[in-house]
Chains A and B, each alone.
Chain A
Amino acid sequence: MNKEEIISELKTIIQPYSEEALALESIDENTDFIKDLKVNSANLVDIVLDIEERFKIEIDNDSMAKMLNIKSTVEIIENKLQVNGG
């Protein structure tokens, strides 16, 4: 799965937790979950759990700590997928 495909999956995952339709439509690496997408901090846990289910990966606490924007989230998913695949 490449970066664009991961971002497109993320868009679907985040959609139920963000009312910022415009910001969500134009997400890129710099999009911040809380500042730009106005995701409630208690729903960030849901996003992490949805990512685990969708990509069949496990996100540890240190990785979750960095998951505040699209860029670091994509990097974490890419790394975990690589570990799983390798």
Chain B
Amino acid sequence: MVGNDIVDLQLAKVQSNWQRKGYLEKVFNENERLLISSAENPDVIVWLLWSMKEAAYKIHNRVNGIREYAPKKLNCFIVPKVDLTRGRVNIDGAVYFTKSSINSAYLHTISSSIQHQIDAIKISIYEFPNHPSKYKDKNPGCISHHGKYLALAY
């Protein structure tokens, strides 16, 4: 099973003010907040961790049928100085592996419960207005939409 999540970084800038009082405390645990506060570019780390949580939740939610808004239950692990793009998310004893691509326009994370399968996941990212009209016919394993971007993971 595959999960994914895309963040349009331009839109995120205007849509969300994570510097608002109390915001980070509702979403991120202490370790994650330390990663953010010690980062050169905290904006990227905020959305990287956010997309890791979302991508992991998308699998977890389908496996367990639990729908809830509990971002703090999803615990992200990355080694920031070594490789930002490979990570792990733990929730309720389950582990999901993540791989992210980061550029100045968007941040996209895919997730899998099986570590070696993460590199076999195929990704298609479309920028508006070039979204394929019948993308659901392509039977993607997971779909994510944000701002200008549509991301399909197979």
Query: Is B54 in the interface zone, CB < 8 Å from A?
Result: yes
Chain A residues closer than 8 Å to B18, beta-carbon distance: 42
Q: Are B12's CB and A61's CB within 8 A? A: no
A-B pairs under 8 A by CB, number: 45
Binary CB contact string for chain B from 39 to 76 against chain A (1 if under 8 A, 0 otherwise): 00000000000100010000000000001111111000
Tell which of A1-9, A21-29, A63-71, A78-86 binds the partner: A63-71
Q: Which interface residue of A45, A52, A68 has the most chain B CB atoms within 10 A?
A: A45
Residue among A42, A64, A66 with max Cβ neighbours from chain B (10 Å):
A42
Q: How many residues of A contact B (CB 8 A)?
A: 16
- Asked if A66 meets B15 with Cβ closer than 8 Å, knowing A42-B50, A45-B26, A46-B20, the reply is no
Would you call A12 an interface residue if the criterion is a C-beta within 8 Å of the partner chain's C-beta atoms? no
A17-51 contacts to B (CB < 8 Å): 40-46, 48-49
B51 to chain A: closest residue by CB? A42
Taken together as a complex, chains A and B put the C-alpha atoms of A66 and B21 apart, in Å, by 22
Q: Which residues of B contact A (CB under 8 A)?
A: 12, 15-18, 20-23, 26-27, 50, 54, 67-73, 146
28 A-B residue pairs with CB within 8 Å: A40-B15, A40-B16, A40-B146, A42-B16, A42-B50, A43-B15, A43-B16, A44-B69, A45-B23, A45-B71, A46-B16, A46-B17, A48-B26, A49-B20, A49-B21, A49-B23, A49-B26, A52-B22, A61-B70, A61-B72, A64-B26, A64-B69, A64-B70, A66-B68, A67-B69, A68-B67, A68-B68, A68-B69
Binding site for B on A (CB under 8 A): 40-46, 48-49, 52, 61, 64-68
